[in-house]
Chain A
């Protein structure tokens, strides 16, 4: 297949004009220079001292950089050239679902009819937004098989904590909040962190030799003090929990609830719904499954959908469709209260609805199918170089291991990940899940083509050959990137979080 790996996803042709670092905006600052322009208002320019008592005035202590508009543009444009992105090339970062973000969805959300609306304006004047939110809630429930949802949580972790507070409210209403939450050893770190903030204790459930929850050990951990279990399905190994109905039955048997971590929802769209698997609470990462851009680490959105028995506890107020066809803010009867300052990351929610509408039920089903096809093709294609940790059909991502390269040539997973950057690809997720040695977790997503997958595979093979020829060079990779490996220990030992700390 060599020769057809001229792909859209390989970014090795990205131009660079040098190897100097970019000065900070503060270093570029020249006192007295400015870029801002404001409206001519005609408002009386009363001296501030005549409006506000002197005890409140700060004596002009706050300084910002002073640059021209031209320098501002040059600075941030150059910074952007020092940044990898989905638009530039393939981002096979496992668990993060870095698929292509349709420009249309951004454009729709950026319409002034949506983005110039004040969140505190009366519902009568924002009916379009309320309808949009109510419609999105209905569609997310259709995708997940749940009864109702809150759109307030601003990201996946916020959704997790919201879900745990819902569990607490539900159990408390039944007389006992309970004490423990079960979490598989392969779970994302946000799960246990959220459990603690939800006022619960973590009980870790081990995986079996097939990379799945060990059902017998799970049953042994269950008891009347278990509030619920948090599961990702497919799990973080990219494997579907085949005993999910047995797990659900066992947890429900002791009165516990099942929480679905939607980090990997992309794999099962249209194939199976969390509600049908027995889950009571589901969070969705709209910035993964529904392709809203990640923004370099947010904004995300983490709506939480629930089964019927939890609906009355949902955060609120919620945009609600009334019988007369209008919309109003309604707080569920036993609501846990707000989990966001306003109505959630509304612009992200609007993008997700546009994405759902473009795809429809048929398109979303294809999304999952091709995501799973791509991951399995890559797993199989790389099997001689980076074997799969669990060698069988995976879902939307595959966890491979660099253990053979490490044992034979001393080349670690991190070295492979860094060398891929020189090849024009973003690295896969490294050393996660924690239960796999030298883990490299690849999630190609459905929007990458066969040609891009082939180009990635060939890049991995070249790196494997370099491991034989010159392993030391791999320890030093990458060298063609804006900076080479950074001294993380030094950053932590001597914290410099600001320009002012740097100059002290």
Chain B
């Protein structure tokens, strides 16, 4: 005990010394209940949150185990108040359960009458529950199952959902190995799920519903396919956009026994409903005359499984719709549970607790994602631009800084230093991207580019026919650019952590030759651009990526040095 790898702080953070001989054991031991907050090179910081502790309870860990783990690995005595609080918090989960009553149907049961009385007294549960069956049981309207769970989490008494799931319509799905080629040039190859993917599928299925957290490029689609094969039922897949939908379709055809005829696309352009249907968030949230006109999709078939891609982007209306789907198995896939809008608790209550999580660095160390070198290039603005910037209106400052003309030269320089790599240039402002595209003589993909054109360009990029591509934020999500080993970011949307994760993901896919990926961010010095960059820098450093800052003037020197 005196020499453990953990230091437990009274503010509920846990520090893990990475180089400690028992660090790996400790990491595995605390992973079920502590959220990894940041993972820089020496000391990782985890945090104990109510949701995290409830996640652990849902996964079958009890407070005693958690306390024992902390005591076992802690270097110093663990603050007493924290242990008390921890046991108290974990004790709150499962005092209430949602169950199916033989005569009354869906009921909320309590092992503690006082708790039931407390939640029923709250105004928020009014209307969600029906009559009292007895002191410990109250009828729940089946349609309010999701809402009630949401409210209970907010009240601090999360209910364990034991009411089970409808089986859904059976539809045989199996994983296919070797793969089914999608293009004439593609060779079939044998494959199998990676160990962590299999663990994720097991974790999810054992828990019933929940979220699997895997870094970009770690093969979330395969986890989805694995879950579908295990379920063997009709499946509704909700994705962020059409490109992503097509990629899901391709990947499912390639890796499962599903044929193209069995997979439907429900998007702005096509409205097919097949045993496996892929729908975009956008079409679901489209309103006609104030009502969601595509809600019938959710009831169109007796779905046995609902898959949410990129859960952290799930729009709020979908949460509301999903609240009604509590009787079906739900799997959320995401790279991060952190939501910019802070709706983590809705993910917890409506989709389910976290069922699997693996730190990026670990997966990278296992060789499944590429190691990355992150460089922030600071560009000193010339005098007149600084003056312009200093006198600009606050709302224009970011645009001015982000679109500094000097960046073009820097990007050129960077691109020139990677002559043999597939380079992706990512930006926010179309004028700037247009300019860059001309400078670099590289094709440009924006929101205005047609899907066909996009796919053609992506394919060409993948095949290596073109080695440079300039993309706007449409590329942020769910496009698959396997061989992009260099990404250059010239402007971003205000330093969002989530965006950073996505962009980094663009270059994190494993490289055929195991090359190091490079991620450059070009930043105008002494401007808000730099402040936003500080956010990104922090995020990347917290994710454990080596992060350097170089001056634009030194760029050539560094490169030659390398």
> Are A and B bound to each other?
no
